[in-house]
Amino acid sequence: MTSPSQNGIRAEDGFFLALLIIVSIGFALVIRPFFAAILWAVVAAIVFAPLNDMLVARMNGGRNRAASLTLLLILLLVIVPAIILALALIQEATLFYGRIQSGEIDFVQVFEQFRASLPDWATALLDRIGLTNLDAVQHMLDGSFRASFRTFAGQALQIGQGAFSFLVALGVMLYLTYFLLRDGERLAQRVSQAAPLHMRTRQALIDQFVVVVRATIKGSIVVAIVQGVIGGLVFWALGISGALLWGVLMAFFSLLPAIGTGLIWVPVALYLLASGALVQAAILTFCGVFIIGMVDNLLRPILVGRDTRIPDYVVLISTLGGIELFGFSGLIVGPIIAALFISVWNIGSMARVATPEAGEGGATLSP
């Protein structure tokens, strides 16, 4: 039988728990407009933490100066080049769309040339599925290529309207990154102490979160940049117009395993083949298969290691789902959540294995 004092304590604990949940939900709603800025600030602080720690050691513990210098390097090495690349990409995409509008690039003509070069059995197959009807092909292309670039160009014209919001989000991201670099360890310790988990479990989760974020950035973003740069250089060397645009698109699609950069260079190689540029088509195919395609297999194990990799099908599904839910930020949010999902279940399974052994002198997760 419980005493009145125990009932009072339980009621007080229940009320505080409800208050904690309500306040947390309210705070989440308040910061929701800056979700992307906060996310990228956390990612930047985690990725550049080793550099910041090295600067702190060299500056004899000057955390303010070290954080300021690290933030300046992030600005010069990441933010400014990304803005310049985005502006150049918008300009090149607009020019490419203009060439489509003017008829300089005619996909229907290219398709007709490609169809004419096919053997009889392939032409008969296209006849059966209705792809020899030029009007139907024209309609399909108008609904894909032309509509896509028209939408992109329209978004480019609206950038000025969203410039203020972008600058505010960028300012929040840089401001928060500075404090996370300076006080990140102390903040992580306070969060760890507040979490209602055993000490070893808390530390394992924090360590795994840091590993997952760094592995995602190094294993996805860095590899994507390398593949995009190589792909863009190959396109430029072959004299293919819009090399910057194609390089950025290859970098984006390389985040999707299995299909990846082939979504870009394979259609372009077919276009070159249909237009009679056999040497260029052969060179692009060779570079796509043996250079661009091999970067992921060679570079990712070096940057990440095999122990932290998650299955490609999980990366594909989580990346697409992340983009659907969070937009551009979903490129890293999706794989991070997927990797943390696997990590938490692994930690939970190890805890279940360790607990029965504790009574027999085995390991235990309790502090």
Is the model's pTM score more than 0.85? no
The answer to whether residues 176 and 206 belong to one domain is no
Q: Which domain holds residue 63?
A: 31-194
- pLDDT class for 358, splitting at 50, 70, 90? very low
Please state the domain count of the chain. Answer: 2
pLDDT in tens, 306-345: 545 667 777 778 878 888 887 777 777 887 888 778 777 8
Taking the C-alpha atoms of residue 204 and residue 194, their distance in angstroms, rounded to an integer, is: 15
> In 10 A of CB 281, how many CB atoms?
19
Residue 18 falls inside a structural domain? no
Please, how many CA atoms are within 13 Å of residue 358, restricted to the half-sphere of its CB?
11
Taking the C-alpha atoms of residue 103 and residue 355, their distance in angstroms, rounded to an integer, is: 71
The answer to whether residues 60 and 89 belong to one domain is yes
Residue 7 falls inside a structural domain? no
pLDDT in tens, 86-140: 788 777 777 776 776 676 666 666 666 666 666 666 666 666 665 555 555 555 5
The answer to whether residues 208 and 190 belong to one domain is no
The answer to whether residues 210 and 188 belong to one domain is no
The answer to whether residues 207 and 181 belong to one domain is no
The answer to whether residues 123 and 156 belong to one domain is yes
Taking the C-alpha atoms of residue 365 and residue 345, their distance in angstroms, rounded to an integer, is: 15
Residue 367 falls inside a structural domain? no
Hey, what amino acid is at 86? A
Q: Please, what is the Cα angle at 281 between 280 and 287, to 5 degrees?
A: 85
- pLDDT class for 359, splitting at 50, 70, 90? very low
The answer to whether residues 338 and 229 belong to one domain is yes
Calculate mean pLDDT across residues 203-211.
76
Number of H helices, E strands in the chain: 18, 0
Last residue of a domain, one of 165, 194, 223: 194
Last residue of a domain, one of 173, 194, 215: 194
Residue 364 falls inside a structural domain? no
The answer to whether residues 179 and 271 belong to one domain is no
The answer to whether residues 228 and 321 belong to one domain is yes
Taking the C-alpha atoms of residue 49 and residue 82, their distance in angstroms, rounded to an integer, is: 21
Taking the C-alpha atoms of residue 10 and residue 15, their distance in angstroms, rounded to an integer, is: 9
Picking from 360, 316, 358, the residue whose alpha carbon sits closest to that of residue 334 is 316
pLDDT in tens, 160-186: 445 677 788 888 999 999 999 988 888
Residue 273 falls inside a structural domain? yes
Last residue of a domain, one of 152, 169, 194: 194
Which range scores top for mean pLDDT: 75-79, 189-193, 324-328? 75-79
DSSP string covering 159-202, please? TTTTHHHHHHHHHHHHHHHHHHHHHHHHHHHHHHHHSSS-HHHH
Residue 15 falls inside a structural domain? no
The pLDDT of residue 116: 66
The answer to whether residues 334 and 243 belong to one domain is yes
Picking from 145, 149, 63, the residue whose alpha carbon sits closest to that of residue 110 is 145
Residue 12 falls inside a structural domain? no
The pLDDT of residue 296: 74
CB 268 within 8 A of CB 110: no
The answer to whether residues 268 and 278 belong to one domain is yes
Hey, what amino acid is at 30? V
Residue 22 falls inside a structural domain? no
The answer to whether residues 74 and 208 belong to one domain is no
